[in-house]
Amino acid sequence: MNSQDSTTPGPDETRRMFAARGLKLTHQRLEVFCELAAAKDHPCAETVWRRVRERVPTISLDTVYRTLAVLREYGLAARVPVDGDMARFDGDTAPHHHLACECCGRIDDLPLGEFDPAVLPEAVSAWGRVRDAQVVVRGICRRCLESGEHGPTRSDADQTPS
Amino acid sequence: MNSQDSTTPGPDETRRMFAARGLKLTHQRLEVFCELAAAKDHPCAETVWRRVRERVPTISLDTVYRTLAVLREYGLAARVPVDGDMARFDGDTAPHHHLACECCGRIDDLPLGEFDPAVLPEAVSAWGRVRDAQVVVRGICRRCLESGEHGPTRSDADQTPS
DNA sequence: TTCGGTGCAAATTATTTGCATCTGG
DNA sequence: CCAGATGCAAATAATTTGCACCGAA
């Protein structure tokens, strides 16, 4: 497949991926898609919007929501399985795991070779069809621990709160 | 079929657990707590409310929300890490895993001996303090597969839709 | 008796949707 | 040219909160 993180799909690659699925590629969609693909912090819809707006000042938040829904529907994006007030998105659809801070809301990728989703007990195939299996670790990140800001603080943003 | 694993805390046990944490035990709290402890379907707040209301007709939905928040704060309940429109709760705070159907929203416990959360790479302890680590499997349950009702249907309820 | 819990209703917040307009293919 | 995408604003849906009253300790 594509390389680790160096290959953030460029405009050409993106155009091809959209065409392959019969999706219309608009300026907004291109920017949302590339922004999400480049992001490593699993942003929420509003954060994607805030970032894309710097390049496309006229894009509306609901277009971002609609685009994210479409990307998800066509397997070009995924929602991270975390419990929180807002949905978090991931441009990396390859199977991997996550670390989520319950204090500041940051979500990081978790390199974990130990766990192989393919090795699920047969009870699972009896349950139904698996789309994805991942390990979700919840805790308090070092930054929050050091700033003494931990606690049931269930904060908010996923980006710099500036 | 409430006591499969013996420990659905009764009123006495509950009274003790609350007292141990300096929590006032009201009629409503007792019912919410026992209802959640007995549930095996990881209900959302409204479902807990609907069920408890059969025994306490006057309980309000926001009391259920507040109670669930308190239980969570004191480690007597947990939120299931799934992405969805509503929060799902679990009265079982012992480490275990989950299976979530993306079609009907049902969530089941996943018996999985293979994966031991204790065996996390050192990279995790460098990241911060872990509160819990679990495997989350997302897919389509057998019932949905057979009823042909699968698809990006991201349904709703966690209980009988009646 | 007292402080915290509860119910009601209004407020917030995230996300969705109707509609007229615009645009990629 | 035209089906589908966008922007705006209003509509939903889930969850929270202010406030006066009530009940457990």
SS3 content of chain B, % helix, strand, coil (to 5): 35, 20, 50
What are residue B44's phi and psi, to 5 degrees? -90, 170
Closest residue in A to B142 (Cα–Cα): A128
Q: Is the CB of B61 under 7 A from strand D?
A: yes
More confident residue, A108 or B7: A108
A68-94 pLDDT, tens digit per residue, is 999 999 999 999 999 999 999 999 999
Which residue type is seen at A155?
A: S
Question: d(Cα A27, Cα A100) in Å, to the nearest integer?
Answer: 32
Provide the 3-class DSSP secondary structure of residue A17. helix
Nucleotide nearest to B79 in CA–C1' terms: D15
Sequence-distant (≥ 6) Cβ neighbours of residue B137 within 8 angstroms: A117, A120, A124, A130, A132, A133, B97, B98, B99, B100, B110
Question: d(Cα A62, Cα A131) in Å, to the nearest integer?
Answer: 27
**pLDDT score of A34 more than 70:** yes
Question: Per residue of chain B (162 residues), what is the pLDDT tens digit?
Answer: 443 444 688 888 999 999 999 999 999 999 999 999 999 999 999 999 999 999 999 999 999 999 999 999 999 999 999 999 999 999 999 999 999 999 999 999 998 876 776 677 788 999 999 999 999 999 999 999 998 766 544 445 565 443
B99 touches chain A (CB under 8 A): yes
What are residue A30's phi and psi, to 5 degrees? -60, -45
pTM here is: 0.90
Strand D-proximal residues of A, range 10-49, CB below 7 A, are 23-24, 26, 28-29
- From B128's Cα to the closest Cα of chain A, the distance in A is 4
CA B26 to chain centre: 21
C-beta atoms of B120 and A138 within 8 A: no
Neighbours of B131 (CB within 10 A): 14
| Residue A161 · residue A143 · CB < 8 Å | no
| Residue A53 · residue A59 · CB < 8 Å | yes
